């Protein structure tokens, strides 16, 4: 058994354990999953001295409340949250029995909380990441008590004060960049005019978006083939279904698909796209070497 360190007092709209996902299982239909914003999850672990792949709490934008079961050092990154403490993207201590209310963020969708020494969870195919659609792991309910794994870890010396991330690494989710897109396998099936319309307009993130895919609303697109033989689909693939409104495959998305793909989002920007809220407008540019 591990060491009980944190209780979920209020799970809000959704709190789940996530790491960097499952590797090597896509050929069996198991998506990689893991933290939707890997950039923020990695930095949360970096702040408290964990390995990059250590499990963290992924908190949906409604917020949550947790309570420490002993004195622990934590860090919050990702969507800008309000905790009554100064600033985000830094470390702080919770005393034994202290509750931390995490208010809905001012921008972004997903917040990440890392605990020094990590969080324990049941591993499925090498990962603790929750993938409820596939029956792997689960979202955490109010009253769940989380434990620290039983393995040696070296806490930072008490003389080291609060640590924070370089401000240049802290993303302003209210103002995303134009997202870079590489030509997809079916690029040539889209006319030059259609490709121009895709990059020439701004798209609105749909309220029908979730961890499997972010749907975009805008001027419908046409393609020479509405469906194609099923083929592998990567996270970041931009598929165009018959209604002409693109779907960007996310980390819990299908591993194969039969819709033509106009492009592939630059992998370095998938985490930032995941922080775009429904109703937020985004644009794309052609990626270049």
CATH (residue range 179-286)? 2.40.100.10
- CA dist 246 and 238 (Å) reads 6
Q: What is the pLDDT of residues 161-185, one digit of tens each?
A: 667 777 888 898 999 999 999 999 9
pLDDT at 289: 66
Which percentage of the chain shows pLDDT scores above 70?
Answer: 93
Nearest alpha carbon to residue 242 among 232, 228, 263, 253: 228
Task: Locate 94 and state its tokens.
Answer: 């919770």
- CA dist 111 and 213 (Å) reads 18
pLDDT at 158: 61
Q: How far is CA 157 from CA 48, 49, 160, 162, 213, in A?
A: 12, 11, 6, 11, 42
Q: What is the pLDDT of residues 182-207, one digit of tens each?
A: 999 999 999 999 999 999 999 999 99
> Strands 213-217, 139-140: parallel, antiparallel or unpaired by DSSP?
unpaired
β-bridge mates for residue 82, sequence order: 103
pTM score: 0.92
pLDDT at 152: 53
What is the number of other CB atoms lying within 10 angstroms of the CB of residue 190?
24
Domain segments of the chain: what residues? 3-169, 179-286
- CA dist 67 and 73 (Å) reads 12
Residue 269, pLDDT above cutoff 60 = yes
Q: How far is CA 123 from CA 86, 129, 138, 145, in A?
A: 35, 8, 11, 17
Residue 154, pLDDT above cutoff 80 = no
Q: What is the pLDDT of residues 207-227, one digit of tens each?
A: 999 999 999 999 999 988 888
Sign of torsion over alpha carbons 207, 210, 214, 215:
negative
DSSP three-state, residue 151: coil
> What is the radius of gyration, based on Cα positions, of the chain?
20
- CA dist 33 and 56 (Å) reads 14
Tokens 């492009």 sit on residue: 263
Are residues 35 and 78 in contact, defined by beta-carbon separation less than 8 angstroms? Answer: no
């Amino acid at each position: 058994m591990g060491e009980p360190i944190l209780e979920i007092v209020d799970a809000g709209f959704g709190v789940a354990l996530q790491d960097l996902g499952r590797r090597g299982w896509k050929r069996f239909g198991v998506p990689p999953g893991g933290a939707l914003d890997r950039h923020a999850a990695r930095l949360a672990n970096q702040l408290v001295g964990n390995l990059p792949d250590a499990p963290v709490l992924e908190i949906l934008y409604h917020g949550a409340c947790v309570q420490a079961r002993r004195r622990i050092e934590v860090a919050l990154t990702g969507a800008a949250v309000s905790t009554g403490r100064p600033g985000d993207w830094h470390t702080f201590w919770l005393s034994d029995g202290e509750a931390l209310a995490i208010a809905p963020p001012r921008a972004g969708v997903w917040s990440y909380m890392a605990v020094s020494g990590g969080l324990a969870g049941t591993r499925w195919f090498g990962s603790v990441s929750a993938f409820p659609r596939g029956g792997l792991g689960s979202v955490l309910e109010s009253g769940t008590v989380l434990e620290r794994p039983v393995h040696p870890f070296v806490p930072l010396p008490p003389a080291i004060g609060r640590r924070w991330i370089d401000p240049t690494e802290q993303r302003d989710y209210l103002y995303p960049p134009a997202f870079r897109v590489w030509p997809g396998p079916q690029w040539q099936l889209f006319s030059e005019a259609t490709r121009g319309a895709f990059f020439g307009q701004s798209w609105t993130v749909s309220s029908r978006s979730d961890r499997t895919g972010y749907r975009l609303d805008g001027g419908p697109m046409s393609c020479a083939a509405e469906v194609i033989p099923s083929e592998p689909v990567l996270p970041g693939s931009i598929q165009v279904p018959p209604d002409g409104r693109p779907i960007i495959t996310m980390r819990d998305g299908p591993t194969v698909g039969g819709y033509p793909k106009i492009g592939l989002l630059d992998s370095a920007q998938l985490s930032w796209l995941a922080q775009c809220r429904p109703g937020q407008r985004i644009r794309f540019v052609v990626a270049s070497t």
